[in-house]
Amino acid sequence: MNEGIDSQLARMRQYFQSGATLPVDFRKKQLKNLQAALKKFEAEIFEALRSDLNKQPEESWVTEIGFVHAEISHTLKHLHQWMKPERVSTNLLNFPSRSRLYKDPLGVVLVIGPWNYPLQLLLAPVIGAIAAGNAVVMKPGEFSPATAAVVTKLISETFAPEYILCVNGEGATVVPRLMDAFRFDHVFFTGSTHVGKSIYAKAAEKLIPVTLELGGKSPCIVEADANIRIAAKRIALTKFSNAGQMCVSPDYLLVHEDVRAQLEKELQHWILKFYGGEHEKDFGRIVNEPAMKRLSGYLKQGRVVAGGEVDHEKKTIGPTLIADVDPDSPIMQEEIFGPLLPVISFRSFEEAKAIVARNPDPLAFYLFTESAEIEKRWMKEVSFGGGCINNAAWHLTNYHLPFGGRGNSGIGAYHGKYSFDTFSHRKAVMKTPTWFDPSIKYPPFKGKLNLFKKIIR
């Protein structure tokens, strides 16, 4: 890390306090600058994502660059409205006052990105921070070094360092150093639950508010009445995207025993069609050798139904279905974060729900059914961050929905207006006129008890 980080952070605080980031025109200009920079660096970003994770340009566009463009466009369209003071009701006790909520920026914020979607998951919250009028320190994921280098170059050429600063290095060293050196006004972290806990503890020392976008074991339920062909197609697409290295990837499959054989057959068909043959070379790469060893170990914890090909030299594992897993084995207790999909049968709702309950509050939940009653019961009885019915993971792309977890899967939410809200303080203000000043509000209060009870009730 740059030895002058303390002075750099101090300059960022001074810049924010100057009021330079407050005007709506300034915020919009910065968002447009970011959009232009993404276009300028598009070829370099494609190359970096290919280098880091073997992502193809089409996948990189849909899940990384295009995603960020859509967030910026939506924000630019609505920012002026989001910034307006919001009128809210005033109770009878305070008549004839008027009440408003003003949207204040938080200040200087820290955004810590992960390695698996190293552009999108870093820049999406930054868009919200810019829109809300903050100055931003960015920490890219170090396990995607090529993308981190391009992002750092993009940011340094587009923004003044006292406004947006990109800091690189090993997260375990850099992040505590940053948080020791400076009191940020908010910390936004995307990554593992384990690291999220340490950041939460560090932030608590200075009472810094946090948003934690974590992970967990996201279940995918396939009921007996589901459209099995469509379910298999959509599960195969999302489970094995980015080689399964996605926080909202279906982590394990719970399928009704009556349709299990049919679903496994369909899954194998779509896996081969999407990722086999000539497409095999385009399948995602596992991020590093420790991840390869961890994922390879999972293969021994069940019966491989399909896939299971491991190449340590190329850092690849083929799309894999695994049966006969022990519920107490690591593969069913830890977030897999790779192209392995355990398939488990169930006979009843209660049996399936008990399996889900072993890993409560998942980040995502997916249900395939044609029954409104079954849908209603699952939605009512299982808590989770967000999810889909008859789909998987695509709720993440809808910027009208908040994205975030609960419990072990995270704190807070973002995307679209929810990003703006995350990086804003809703300042409550009540304005009272002077032309009406009833004496009942002033002492002495003796004899006014019954009247007070009526008014306040």
Give the active site residues. 213, 247
Amino acid at 153: K
Under DSSP, the state recorded for 144 is S
Token look-up 């996201």 returns: 218
| Terminal C-alpha separation, the chain | 58
3-state secondary structure of 313: coil
Give residue 198's region: left, alpha or beta (phi > 0; psi -120 to 50): alpha
Neighbours of 114 (CB within 10 A): 23
CA nearest 315: which of 337, 289, 340, 276?
289
The two structure tokens encoding residue 291: 């991840």
Give how far Cα 209 sits from Cα of 274, 386, 422, Å. Answer: 42, 22, 10
Contacts of residue 252, defined as CB under 8 A and 6 or more positions apart, other chains included, come to: 217, 219, 220, 332, 336, 341, 342, 343, 344
The two structure tokens encoding residue 271: 């896996």
What's CA 93's distance to the chain center, in Å?
Answer: 41
Contacts of residue 158, defined as CB under 8 A and 6 or more positions apart, other chains included, come to: 33, 34, 36, 37, 164
